[in-house]
Chains A and B, each alone.
Chain A
Amino acid sequence: DTEVTQTPKHLVMGMTNKKSLKCEQHMGHRAMYWYKQKAKKPPELMFVYSYEKLSINESVPSRFSPECPNSSLLNLHLHALQPEDSALYLCASSKAGTGREKLFFGSGTQLSVL
């Protein structure tokens, strides 16, 4: 099984809503990532978890709150988002997050903030 599963596939939310994005993998990987991708742009790294600990936070605003309950699951909690946060949010995983590793991506959640 080489899949990274993301839910939901699409999400529309208002600026006062609270929502969560979910990501799951069963490849035994110990590193999980959140990337953000705007239309016609490359993916940009947001967060990295390695062995369930946050190892990289790319100065992401606090309205995005990641959580890694266990090595197979990764959540991204959203609160008080802005319209400019509308984007494709991609989850990825790799063996350990220590570098030199192949990344496997999910199909993403397309988020629209109204």
Chain B
Amino acid sequence: GIQVEQSPPDLILQEGANSTLRCNFSDSVNNLQWFHQNPWGQLINLFYIPSGTKQNGRLSATTVATERYSLLYISSSQTTDSGVYFCAVERHRGSTLGRLYFGRGTQLTVWP
């Protein structure tokens, strides 16, 4: 399969702080998604971003496919941002189409 490494594994912030989460992957991908899993287990799709930059409110993401990494930026963090952030990728190979490989996630805790 493909290796997906996320950093940092844990992040603790004060409310209002900014943060950057990183996702490195070991092969060419045609699909990269960022998810937020809240404390109740719900996985929310934040971005579908195989390349380029997207913004959604306080969140933005950049994927540099040629250098095999993606970054998720969270600005002015809020306590509701707490949870686990997963990066998931799909390889640019026929036999693995439809298979999303998840990284181990970044556990974010935001204190008031």
A residues near B, CB below 8 A?
A: 31, 37, 41-45, 48, 50, 55-56, 88, 90, 92, 97-105, 107-108, 110
A43 and B43 CA atoms in complex are apart in Å by 10
Whether A45 and B103, one on each chain, are in contact in the complex, defined by CB atoms closer than 8 angstroms, is no
Q: Which of B41, B44, B90, B102 contacts A100 (CB 8 A)?
A: B90
Whether A42 and B98, one on each chain, are in contact in the complex, defined by CB atoms closer than 8 angstroms, is no
User: Which residues of chain A have C-beta atoms less than 8 A from B40's C-beta?
Assistant: 107
Whether B33 and A102, one on each chain, are in contact in the complex, defined by CB atoms closer than 8 angstroms, is yes
B79 lies within 8 A of chain A by Cβ: no
User: Which residues of chain A have C-beta atoms less than 8 A from B31's C-beta?
Assistant: 99-101
- Count residues on chain B whose CB falls below 8 Å from chain A CBs: 23
Nearest-neighbour CB distance to chain A for B59, whole angstroms, equals 16
User: Which residues of chain B have C-beta atoms less than 8 A from A108's C-beta?
Assistant: 41-43
Whether A88 and B45, one on each chain, are in contact in the complex, defined by CB atoms closer than 8 angstroms, is no
Whether A99 and B42, one on each chain, are in contact in the complex, defined by CB atoms closer than 8 angstroms, is no
Number of A-B pairs, beta carbon distance below 8 Å: 57
- B93 nearest in chain A by CB position: A99
A56 and B90 CA atoms in complex are apart in Å by 14
User: Which residues of chain A have C-beta atoms less than 8 A from B48's C-beta?
Assistant: 102
Whether A31 and B41, one on each chain, are in contact in the complex, defined by CB atoms closer than 8 angstroms, is no
Known: A56-B99, A90-B41, A102-B48. 11 other contacts (CB 8 A): A42-B86, A44-B102, A45-B99, A99-B30, A100-B30, A100-B31, A102-B45, A103-B45, A105-B44, A107-B40, A108-B42
A98 and B99 CA atoms in complex are apart in Å by 10
Mark interface residues in B22-41 (1 if CB within 8 Å of A CB, else 0).
00000000110101000011
User: Which residues of chain A have C-beta atoms less than 8 A from B98's C-beta?
Assistant: 31, 48, 50, 55-56, 97-99
A50 and B33 CA atoms in complex are apart in Å by 20
A100 and B49 CA atoms in complex are apart in Å by 10
